[in-house]
Amino acid sequence: MKAMVIEKYGKDSPLLMTERPMPEIGENDVLAEIHAASLNPIDFKVKEGKAKFLLKYEMPLVLGNDFSGVIVAVGTRVKGFKPGDEVYGRPRKGRIGTLAEYIAIHQDDIALKPRNLSFEEAASIPLVGLTTYQAFHDILNLQKGQKILIHAGAGGVGTFAIQLARLMGAYVATTASDRGYDLVKSLGADQIINYRKENFEELLTDYDVVYDTLGGEALKKSFQVLKPGGKIVSVSGLPNARFGKDSQLGWLKTTLLSIVTRNLTALEKKTGTSYHFLFMKPSGAQLKIIKQFIEEGRIKPVIDKVFKFEEAPQALKYLEGGGAKGKVIVKIK
């Protein structure tokens, strides 16, 4: 089968089209023919080697973290899926590789594709959908009437997050540029801060939660908008000791994380808030919930651009450029 691989880590390491063996399926796996995959910041972070502390892969490595497609074979213990089913999913971290014509994926990591979406639209959902659902439900426990700041509302994660937060009854503030204003407004944002002209930390106060997709200075400043007892969940900041303990990374790695995030820990203590780093877990069960929201018309995919399979290197560079409004898709079939 054809697949897009890297042969070594590095910012300048090329993404190459190559022939790879067909995946072998285990008894709990399905073999899916991939129709479309989406690109996410984790893809270029993995490519550059920035995720090696948490993720270790052998080379050559097929990139890609979510997809939609059609099942062509199932393992002996697979229940609920059969050849011909249209599915979407996010493979577990040790089995990534959706920039390929086929993938073997555990049955627990997929769900039937929303009936009202194309393959390209469905491929845009799994990673950002699961990340946001787990942030809002499992960590933030977002409640009706609470105030949430969502950074980069016009981005791939932000466009989904605004819709889910509004569905859950929250008051949503978000940051966006002039180019993204109309988009985030159409998705339901209540307050929009133009980050090129305004400082969100000067305009917002007494917020319950922050959903950080940027890290860096935006993350540090986010502590200023929270009320005491408020929470920040970040998908772009540094993992802290709390994450290390919860993930059972061991004493050494947890201690290292404690050291590199000591400034964030100081901000937690100063503001009486809590900081959580999220590393999303695959979940077919949660994809079923998201599927229902989509089929009911309560959440819609937002796609910036669709690239051909052979254009995957250009697609990754486009995403890394930071200007995408919504998701970047690679059409495989």
Distance CA 40, CA 65 (A): 8
Which tokens belong to 26? 């285990």
- Domains of the chain and any CATH numbers: 2-125+301-331 (3.90.180.10), 128-277 (3.40.50.720)
Distance CA 69, CA 36 (A): 7
Which tokens belong to 91? 């493979």
The angle subtended at Cα 297 by Cα 291 and Cα 298, nearest 5°, is 85
Average pLDDT rounded to a whole number, residues 32-36: 98
Q: Per residue in 109-151, pLDDT tens?
A: 999 999 999 999 999 999 999 999 999 999 999 999 999 999 9
84 confidence band (pLDDT: 50, 70, 90): very high
pLDDT at 55: 85
42-72 in b/e burial notation, b at 16+ Cβ within 10 A?
bbbebbbbebeeeeebeeebbbbbbbbbbbe
pLDDT at 114: 98
pLDDT at 240: 92
* First-last CA distance in the chain: 12
Q: Residue 319 above 90 pLDDT?
A: yes
Q: Per residue in 188-234, pLDDT tens?
A: 999 999 999 999 999 999 999 999 999 999 999 999 999 999 999 99
Which tokens belong to 30? 């399905």
Q: Per residue in 106-117, pLDDT tens?
A: 999 999 999 999
Q: Per residue in 165-196, pLDDT tens?
A: 999 999 999 999 999 999 999 999 999 999 99
